[in-house]
Structures are given as structure tokens and as C-alpha cells.
Chain A
Amino acid sequence: MLEETAALTFRALRKWVRNPASVMPGLFTAMFYLALFGSSFNPANLIPAAYASAASSFLKADFGGAPTYITYLTSGVICIILVFNMAFGGIDLVLDRQLGYLNSLLTAPVPRAAIYLSGVAQNLAKVLLLAVLTFIVALFIPNGLQLPASFGVVDFLGTFVAFVLLGLGLSFVFTALALTVRSIDSLVAIVNFLTLPIMFMSNAFFPPSIFPGWLRDVADVNPVTKANEAARLLIVNGGALTSSELGTYEADIAYLVVFAAVLGLIGYLAAKRALRPE
């Protein structure tokens, strides 16, 4: 099964690599969020200058001590990029079905699980590259992402463990969805319905501490919130985590592992159903 999964994933990525411009729209979206949203909605600027000291303590307390708003926003934007690109990445799979390519796999002795897993893997690979690029771009924005001196390779990897687990869970569910729907229209309708609430009911842009209670309750269990929380701990503090911060990081990662595992199971069962003979 691994051989087929690898062959199919390789095919998709090879197509993608030959058309490098295809990462541009996603990268522009990330840049606009970081540079434009990050500048215009910077909470430090939303508070009048007369309350500057209150503003700085608000930033410290509620934004996890991030030195700039864009530092806070970077992991949020990466999560949003994960959600959106993962969700719309399914369009390729719907096209594969509509153009008959999927049928040519189904009549070959290819395990159905390999068809599903290659969809998961190709989506994940594309989106993670975009996430890395977004992270790098954020560093070059003026007043942008400012990493602490102690931020090293291990912290970078620790940050991306959170993103990979979130991305994996999302890829499991959105790949299964793309194999299930029969038209791009219905995929776009469902995905539009899902992505905005996932984005706004999380700590991607602002801390849930400023949300109304009901929204905070939802945001607190949103895996996007967990991934952001874990990633921000490292982005803001680098290698210098207190033991309670480390505990939070570990709990978030454990939450994301369970999230990915559960969606993996659901996604697999849904995909198996979707790939049955018509």
C-alpha cells in the first residue's frame, strides 16, 4: 500500500512543483493578512495614546507577551492558511473524479486506502510548504515577527509540530469530504460554511479572553486555538519555557494528536464509503 500511496502522492506533487506559481495565491493571502490586517487591526493602535500604559499591559497580559501584534498574528495566519488551503485543496480531487482520473485508479489494483492517504499527504505537503514560507515572510515585514534570541531549531520544529498535527487532522477530514462530494460547487459551499467559523471562533486574530463567554467556550476547544497556543508559547518565549508553559504546550500537542487520530479514523471510514462502487 505504501508504494501506491507514494506513487500517487509523487504524481500530485510533481505536477505542483512544475507549476510553482500555484503557491503564489496562498502566499499573497498570508502576506495581506500579516502586513495589512496586522497593521490596521494592531490592538496597540486601536487604544488611544492617552492610555498607552494600559495598552502595553493589555498586550502583555492578553497577547501572551508578544513584542508586536504581527508576532502574535503569525501563527494565527499560518493556521488560517492551513484551514483555507486544506479546505480548497480538495478541488483538485473533485476534478480528478470529474475528469475520470479517479476511476482509472479504482479499476486498477490500487488499495482504496492508498488513494485516500495520497490525497491526505499531497494536501498536507502543499500546505506545509506554504506555512514555512509564511513564517519566513513574517520575519521580513517591518515591525513584524520578532523571535526571541533563544529561539532555535528545536523551537522552530516544536512550533511546526503543532501546525503539522493541525494540518494532518484537517487534511484527513477535508480529503474525505473532497472524495465524497461530486461537484466543485457543493465542495465550495460546504467549505465556505465551515472555514469562517473555524477561523473566527479561535484565537487566530485576537485572544479569546476578550470574547463574549459563549464564543470563548467554543474557541477554547477549537483545535486551531490549541495549535496557536502551543506555537505562540515557543514563538514568544523561545527555549525559555516555564514548567507550567511546558505543561500547556504538552497538553495542546496531546489534544492535537487525539484530534488528528479521531479525524483520521472518521476520514478513513468516510473515504472508504466514498470510493465504493457506485
Chain B
Amino acid sequence: MADIIQAEGLTKVYHGKVKAVDHISFHVSEGEIFGFLGPNGAGKTTTIKMLNTLASITEGRATVAGHDVAKEPGAVRKSIGVVPQELTADDELSGTENMMLMARLHHVRGSAATAKIGELLRLVDLEDASRRKVKTFSGGMRRRLQLVMGLLHEPKVLFLDEPTLGLDVQTRSKMWNYIKGLNKDRGLTVFMTTHYLDEADSLCERIAIVDHGTIKVSGSPAELKAAHGGDVVTLKLSGGADLTEFFSGIEGVSEVAREGDVYRIKLPRAERALPAIVTGVVQKNLEIQEISFSKPTLDQVFLDVVGRSMRDEEASESDSAWENIRMERAR
């Protein structure tokens, strides 16, 4: 399929010294959900800002829907929808009024606008609440409104910057369904950023893991997990001899770690090796007290690629006053 976003050597340097994005190259195919995954400050938002004309490009070039971002910003703006991290719907206006304003700004007029607004509000189950002022909305409702406010002019590409920031787990998975629906039913291309690993895993067909302004690795979540993670079998035995060497000898096992009577065995396909492991233990007259195996997660991939866990990052999230206000509004 044709590439709807192309970025080559995209670089952003702020104030001549802070390199927020460092020679990033990637492409997004039409109809794809593509995700930028990385910790805060990795350069995700800056990349989105360059693609949707909010930030100038220091070096490199990018095209969106066939238009050069630096040379034809007007044409780019017409073909994109942008759902920012911040909740920008107006508190004092109703859901419909907010939609109406966006419609007018995008030159969608009259009955076409009314029909479109009704359709989009229905899509995210906001039709009943549409006459209420946005300040009475919950965080999830605001996010849903925000999502469709970017769609009035039927854009070709939708940019989502941290679409579920500050939402609880249930509301997040609902948001995911809406986003998946837009992508499937309308063939909308989605470029999104997130620092939630499960979000990237559940939504994105392809992801790029970014850190310090560069892409560390990219591919489908399954590919990345296969390449960087592998399955892990965890096994607790009732004492006895050290079986590290025996487990290491089983076909495909790449790593065995032992802590007391607990073994962690890393291998590509746990299902295939399990019989050999269990038979081996039984033959040595040992008893299995606990056994479990886990499929790889993007967290493992992230750890492998970036060298630290995503969870360590979340603890150090920015807590500036504005961040707090935004979170306040998100509630």
C-alpha cells in the first residue's frame, strides 16, 4: 500500500542546542495504525508537531498525504485531523457547539455539518450528552469528544497524541475500541504516540520505539516480541540437584537463571519445550511445586532495546503546574 506519511532524517533542534528529534526516518502506509512508543521526553510529541505543522523542521523532510510539510503546510492541514494531548474542547460550550466551531473552521457548513456532527457524536456514544456543557463531562467523555472533533472534515490521517492519558483502565479500552473502529470502518490512517505499552500492543499494527530522539527499533508488536523477548518458563522445584545445565541443554533454550529452587528458562516457544522440561524433572525424581510460562510483552522488548524499564520512566513523569491542571481537567 502507498505510504501516506514519509519522514526522512527528520530532526528538530530547539534554540540551537536542544536536540529533541535526531534524524528520524520512517513511513506509514495508508490505512495503518502506527504508534510511536517511548518514555516522556523521547521526542514523540515533537515528531507529531513537525508532521502537523506546529513545529518547524530543522533538518530532513516529511510528507503527509502527498504534501511536503515544510512547503505546503496549508494542504497538509486540510488533510489531517489532530487530537492533541491537552483537552482543548471548550468547557463553557456544549459538545455540539464545540463540534460546530470545528466544522466552521474546516468549512463544513449547513446541513452537511449538522449531519456529520450527529453521526460522529453517535459514533462515540455522546449524542445524549451533546447539549450539555463540556465542563460537566467526565474525563473519558472529553477524550471521546476530542477524538471526533478532529474528524469533521474527513481527514486522511488522524494524529493522536497520547489518546488515553489520564484515563482509567476501563475507559482506556473503550477508547481503543473507538480508535480501532475508525481505522477499520473508515480506513482512517492513524499516527499515534503513547507511553503505555499495552496501548501500543493492543492498537498498533506497527510501532517504533523511540528514546532520546531516535528510533531504536520498529516493526509489528509480534515481530518485536519474537525478536527481543521470547517466552519465559518459571519453575519451582522441591529442592534437589542443580538442573541449570540440564535445562540449558534443551533445544531452543537461550538462557537459564536460577534463584534457590526457582528457575527462569528463556526460550522462543514454551509450548514445544514444556514436555521435555517436565519429563526431565520427573526422571530426576524431583517434584514440581509451581510452573508457569509467560509470553513476551512489549515491556521486555522495551527493556531490551532501551536498556531500562518503561515503568521506571513513569515514576519520573513531569509534574509541572500545567500538567496538574491538565490532569485535573481530565478527571
Q: Measuring CB to CB, which residues of chain A are less than 8 angstroms from any residue of chain B?
A: 3-4, 7-8, 11, 14-15, 18-19, 98-101, 103-110, 276-278
Contacts and interface: CB of A to CB of B under 8 A. Distances in A.
Nearest to A7: B104
B329 to A, nearest CB: 8
Q: Which of B49, B53, B56, B88 has the largest number of chain A CB atoms within 10 A?
A: B88
Interface stretch (B76-84, B198-206, B240-248, B280-288): B76-84
A15 B77 contact: no
B90 A101 contact: yes
Contacts of A276: 56
Given A14-B93, A276-B56, A3 B101 contact: no
A110 B92 contact: no
Given A11-B93, A99-B86, A107-B77, A278 B105 contact: no
Given A103-B84, A277-B53, A277-B54, A108 B104 contact: no
Given A107-B77, A107-B80, A100 B56 contact: no
A104 B85 contact: no
15 contacts: A4-B105, A7-B101, A7-B105, A8-B105, A11-B101, A14-B97, A15-B90, A98-B322, A100-B84, A101-B90, A103-B82, A103-B88, A107-B77, A109-B105, A277-B56
Interface size class of B (residues with CB under 8 A): 20 to 34
B85 A107 contact: no
Nearest to B49: A278
Contact of B105 (A15, A100, A108): A108
A19 B92 contact: yes
Nearest to A10: B101
A20 to B, nearest CB: 12
Given A18-B92, A101-B90, A107 B53 contact: yes
Contacts of B104: 3-4, 7
B82 A15 contact: no
Nearest to B75: A109
B55 A100 contact: no
Given A105-B105, A107-B77, A99 B88 contact: yes
Nearest to A17: B92
B88 A106 contact: no
Contact of B78 (A14, A101, A103, A109): A109
B63 interface: no
B105 A101 contact: no
B90 to A, nearest CB: 7
A65 B90 CA distance: 50
B290 to A, nearest CB: 49
B10 to A, nearest CB: 14
Interface in B88-107: 88, 90, 92-93, 97, 101-102, 104-107
Contacts of A107: 52-54, 77, 80, 82, 84
B112 to A, nearest CB: 15
Would you call the interface of chain A mostly helix, strand, loop, or mixed?
helix
Interface of B: 14, 49, 52-56, 73-74, 77-78, 80, 82, 84-88, 90, 92-93, 97, 101-102, 104-107, 149, 322, 325-326
Given A108-B106, A109-B78, A100 B85 contact: yes
Given A8-B105, A14-B92, A99-B325, 12 more contacts: A7-B101, A11-B90, A103-B82, A103-B86, A104-B82, A107-B52, A107-B53, A107-B84, A108-B105, A109-B74, A109-B78, A278-B54
Contacts of B326: 99
Nearest to A14: B93
Contacts of B55: 277-278
B58 to A, nearest CB: 11
A109 B77 contact: yes
Nearest to B329: A99
Contacts of A19: 92
B54 A100 contact: no
A99 B85 CA distance: 10
Nearest to A11: B101
A68 to B, nearest CB: 41
A104 B88 CA distance: 7
A9 to B, nearest CB: 11
Contacts of A109: 74, 77-78, 105-107
Nearest to B321: A98
Contacts of A99: 86-88, 325-326
Contacts of A277: 49, 53-56, 73
A108 B108 CA distance: 12
Nearest to B98: A11
A10 to B, nearest CB: 8
A108 to B, nearest CB: 5
Contacts of A11: 90, 93, 101
Task: Report the 8 A-B pairs with minimum CB-CB distance, sorted nearest first.
Answer: A100-B86, A7-B104, A107-B82, A277-B56, A15-B92, A109-B77, A104-B88, A101-B88
B93 A15 contact: yes
Contacts of B82: 103-104, 107-108
Q: Which of B49, B55, B85 has the largest number of chain A CB atoms within 10 A?
A: B49
Nearest to B77: A109
Nearest to A98: B322
B250 to A, nearest CB: 54
A61 B56 CA distance: 60
A101 B87 CA distance: 8
Contacts of B56: 276-278
